[in-house]
A and B are shown apart, each in its own frame.
Chain A
Amino acid sequence: MALITANHISKTYRVGEVEVQALRGVSFEIEPASFVSFVGPSGSGKTTLLNLIGCLDKPTEGALTVAGADVAALERKASAAFRGKTIGFIFQDFNLLPVLTVYENIEYPLLMVQKVPPAERQRRVTALLEAVGMSDQRDKKPDQISGGQKQRVAVARALVTNPKLVLADEPTANLDHGTAYMVLNLMKKMRDEFKTTFIFSTHDQKIVGEAETIFTLEDGRLNGTKSRGGNGNG
């Protein structure tokens, strides 16, 4: 069964008297453990779509199911709990908590979002620090490490709760090319290791080639799907 099913979803923002149609009837399916990218120019609706999949917002029309949950039906607190359990987030600006160390940032969801016993917590955080290659920086604060290192910590933080799905909205937009490829390869390696579905958005045509399934967005419409190898849908 598909992990995500979108059926003719639309999203309209209302700013005063003006209506902005950010998504116009988008339909797709995403299978578990796939490595998916939404690509399109700025303003094409990528962030809007990822927010909907991430249960941060609700579609104006259409049906969206994520890991068995009807996104439109989740109320505020339930959707927070659902996100904490099912979804990991990676942000364009890394968004690590500045007062916490690298280790504590990765540990945060296990303390504040889920309740994981100390021994298990330590095991998971240490393993992820190792996996993203940040073990030797574990006691540094975010302002003491580079952008690429921050995004690796963010990848570890997104994965620490063993989510079914990780969403990354333009995760490489603030990184140089080399670092961007490294982060994407890290994400792919994590997908291989943990069988987590990764969905990222980008407006960078070079980066998008790393994805196994590519959805192209234009003006809020899906304008083509490309698949190659992996677990992408056909």
Chain B
Amino acid sequence: MGNLFKIAIRNLLRYKRRTLLTASLITVGVVFVLAFVSVAGTFKNMMIGQITDSMIGHLQVHRRGFVASIETLPLNLNLKGGAIGKLEKILNEQTEIEAYSPRVKFGGMFSNFTETSSIRLTAIDPEKEFKTVPLLPERVSDGSKELKPGGILIPELLARGMKVKPGDAVVIVATNADGSVNGKQFTVTGVMESATGPGGRDGYVHLNDARELLRMEGQQVSEYVIRLKSFGNLAAFSEKLDGLLAKELNQQDKPLFELHTWEKLSPFFNIARMIDLMTFFIKLMLIAIVLISIMNVMIMAVYERIREIGTIAAIGTLPGKILSMFVIEGFCMGVAGALIGDLVGIGLVWILNLSKISYNFGQQKGIILQAGVSPADILMISATVIIVSVIASLQPAFKASRMEPIQALRHT
């Protein structure tokens, strides 16, 4: 085996320039993929973190049917006393849950006493909410982050459009589940940026105020937002919780609750998917580069060495040995390309991090790129390159091993 490697490496070094070119091509491919995977992956995780930690949470539970008509924020689809008790009992038993927060969502009219505009409100228990979506307070750009009863956090759009600032008095008018209209005066606590870009019309009030404004009798909750201790555990836990919730039935023997992960609730999941898709295609390109360049070099190598192949075959080298000789050549080139590519790729990401490239996302301004190269990615990419190199050399190597010695020896 050692001798096969010795012969393979010497044959590679025999055509130094060609070997160098091919290995460099693979190296460049690996560097690009590695840099892209780490930067895109870092961006994606940051984006998911922003979306989940400042707004959506990891998981949400609603009364069945709520999400389908979420645009109208239907108050008649709120969870009521019995269901709330059952759900909170289940949630309290789950050790995977870090925190959860009940919300009431409703639409209303926002007035500064001279003008009126529509607003979507989320009523929260601030203590629970901030534990569940810890980046929410950071969205408050002006005024206080502390939401007390009687206070309201208003979206930037309304603050600007209706010239309202923290400390001003405003009125919210809302229609409750029975259709009667009620109004309540609030003091603007703070102005907040939208999590999803400009144009958001979402405000936050205290849960107690919502009860009063909507004249709720007893407990009502539109949605429960859940934060897990470990985000990586999301898929497994969501399946488990879904199973538990499915057992809870209403009077019609239909499931009472519905569970959604953040992916189902945010259009940003599609962006995350796009990033994954792009990563996939870039990896596919790397595979194509490796496949074509190695195959090309190995076809040339076999063609140039036909007489040598004839010689070693004539003196009794078995076809399998000849096959491995050429496959090992492709393998070595793949290993060299992958190894150098990994090193240069890690270096490049390191330099990218050092150069402190900054970018904006949502309300987060000037985030400094700190891309990480995960060992799993390095391993995956290297293994792919090496395996593809071997596959690419198989056909030329097989051709070499099947050559008839006398014809090969006659070749000029």
Of the A-B pairs whose beta carbons lie under 8 Å apart in the complex, a sample of 18, sorted by A's number, is: A54-B314, A80-B313, A81-B318, A83-B314, A83-B315, A84-B315, A85-B316, A89-B314, A89-B315, A93-B307, A95-B311, A95-B409, A98-B14, A100-B10, A108-B315, A111-B3, A112-B312, A157-B315
B18-46 at interface with A (beta carbon < 8 Å): none
Q: Shortest beta-carbon distance, A11 to chain B, in Å?
A: 11
Known: A56-B405, A95-B311, A98-B14. A113 touches B7 (CB 8 A): no
Is A109's CB within 8 Å of the partner chain B?
yes
Residue of B nearest to A109 (CB): B315
Q: Shortest beta-carbon distance, B324 to chain A, in Å?
A: 10
Asked whether, in the complex, the Cβ of A80 is within 8 Å of the Cβ of B311, the reply is no
Is A181's CB within 8 Å of the partner chain B?
no
Q: Interface code A78-102, partner B: CB below 8 Å = 1, 0 otherwise?
A: 0011111101110101010111100
Is B11's CB within 8 Å of the partner chain A?
yes
Is A51's CB within 8 Å of the partner chain B?
yes
Asked whether, in the complex, the Cβ of B316 is within 8 Å of the Cβ of A97, the reply is no
Is B86's CB within 8 Å of the partner chain A?
no
Asked whether, in the complex, the Cβ of B318 is within 8 Å of the Cβ of A97, the reply is no
Q: Which residues of B contact A93 (CB under 8 A)?
A: 307
Residue of B14, B311, B312, B316 touching A81 (CB-CB under 8 A): B316
Residue of A56, A88, A99, A109 touching B7 (CB-CB under 8 A): A99
A8-53 at interface with B (beta carbon < 8 Å): 51
Q: Shortest beta-carbon distance, A103 to chain B, in Å?
A: 13
Residue of B10, B318, B409 touching A77 (CB-CB under 8 A): B318
Q: Interface code B296-318, partner A: CB below 8 Å = 1, 0 otherwise?
A: 00000000000110011111111
Is B247's CB within 8 Å of the partner chain A?
no
Asked whether, in the complex, the Cβ of A56 is within 8 Å of the Cβ of B311, the reply is no
Residue of A82, A87, A97, A111 touching B311 (CB-CB under 8 A): A97
Asked whether, in the complex, the Cβ of B14 is within 8 Å of the Cβ of A113, the reply is no
Q: Which residues of A contact B406 (CB under 8 A)?
A: 51, 56-57
Known: A80-B317, A97-B7, A113-B316. 5 other contacts (CB 8 A): A57-B406, A81-B318, A83-B315, A112-B312, A113-B315
Q: Which residues of A contact B321 (CB under 8 A)?
A: 112
Count of interface residues, chain A, beta-carbon cutoff 8 Å: 29
Residue of A nearest to B13 (CB): A99
- Kindly state the separation between the CA atoms of A54 and B3 in the bound complex, as whole angstroms: 26
Asked whether, in the complex, the Cβ of A113 is within 8 Å of the Cβ of B314, the reply is no
Residue of A nearest to B2 (CB): A111
B66-123 at interface with A (beta carbon < 8 Å): none
Q: Shortest beta-carbon distance, B304 to chain A, in Å?
A: 11
- Kindly state the separation between the CA atoms of A80 and B321 in the bound complex, as whole angstroms: 12
- Kindly state the separation between the CA atoms of A228 and B11 in the bound complex, as whole angstroms: 47
Residue of A51, A77, A87, A97 touching B312 (CB-CB under 8 A): A97
Asked whether, in the complex, the Cβ of A56 is within 8 Å of the Cβ of B14, the reply is no
Q: Which residues of A contact B14 (CB under 8 A)?
A: 98-99
Could you say which interface size class chain B belongs to?
Answer: 20 to 34
Q: Which residues of B contact A113 (CB under 8 A)?
A: 315-318
Q: Which residues of B contact A51 (CB under 8 A)?
A: 406
- Kindly state the separation between the CA atoms of A97 and B8 in the bound complex, as whole angstroms: 12
Q: Interface code B1-17, partner A: CB below 8 Å = 1, 0 otherwise?
A: 00100010011001000
- Kindly state the separation between the CA atoms of A111 and B3 in the bound complex, as whole angstroms: 8
Residue of A nearest to B405 (CB): A56
Q: Which residues of A contact B405 (CB under 8 A)?
A: 56
Q: Which residues of A contact B10 (CB under 8 A)?
A: 99-100
Q: Which residues of A contact B308 (CB under 8 A)?
A: 95, 97-98
Q: Shortest beta-carbon distance, B172 to chain A, in Å?
A: 85
Is B319's CB within 8 Å of the partner chain A?
yes
With most chain B CB atoms within 10 A of its CB, the pick from A77, A87, A89 is: A89
A189-212 at interface with B (beta carbon < 8 Å): none
Residue of A nearest to B316 (CB): A84
Closest 6 pairs (CB-CB, A-B): A84-B316, A99-B10, A95-B311, A83-B316, A113-B316, A56-B406
Asked whether, in the complex, the Cβ of A91 is within 8 Å of the Cβ of B316, the reply is no
Asked whether, in the complex, the Cβ of B3 is within 8 Å of the Cβ of A56, the reply is no
Q: Shortest beta-carbon distance, A110 to chain B, in Å?
A: 10
With most chain B CB atoms within 10 A of its CB, the pick from A51, A87, A95 is: A95
- Kindly state the separation between the CA atoms of A87 and B314 in the bound complex, as whole angstroms: 10
B304-342 at interface with A (beta carbon < 8 Å): 307-308, 311-319, 321
Q: Which residues of B contact A98 (CB under 8 A)?
A: 14, 308
- Kindly state the separation between the CA atoms of A89 and B408 in the bound complex, as whole angstroms: 15
Q: Which residues of B contact A97 (CB under 8 A)?
A: 7, 308, 311-312
Q: Shortest beta-carbon distance, B234 to chain A, in Å?
A: 55
Residue of B nearest to A85 (CB): B316
With most chain A CB atoms within 10 A of its CB, the pick from B314, B315, B318 is: B315
- Kindly state the separation between the CA atoms of A15 and B308 in the bound complex, as whole angstroms: 25
Residue of B307, B312, B314 touching A56 (CB-CB under 8 A): B314
- Kindly state the separation between the CA atoms of A53 and B318 in the bound complex, as whole angstroms: 19
Q: Shortest beta-carbon distance, B223 to chain A, in Å?
A: 71
Residue of A nearest to B315 (CB): A89
Q: Shortest beta-carbon distance, B4 to chain A, in Å?
A: 8
- Kindly state the separation between the CA atoms of A129 and B113 in the bound complex, as whole angstroms: 108
- Kindly state the separation between the CA atoms of A43 and B332 in the bound complex, as whole angstroms: 44
Q: Interface code B387-400, partner A: CB below 8 Å = 1, 0 otherwise?
A: 00000000000000
With most chain A CB atoms within 10 A of its CB, the pick from B313, B406, B409 is: B409
Q: Shortest beta-carbon distance, B42 to chain A, in Å?
A: 45
Asked whether, in the complex, the Cβ of B319 is within 8 Å of the Cβ of A77, the reply is yes
Q: Which residues of A contact B3 (CB under 8 A)?
A: 111-112
Asked whether, in the complex, the Cβ of B311 is within 8 Å of the Cβ of A84, the reply is no
Q: Which residues of A contact B317 (CB under 8 A)?
A: 80, 84, 112-113
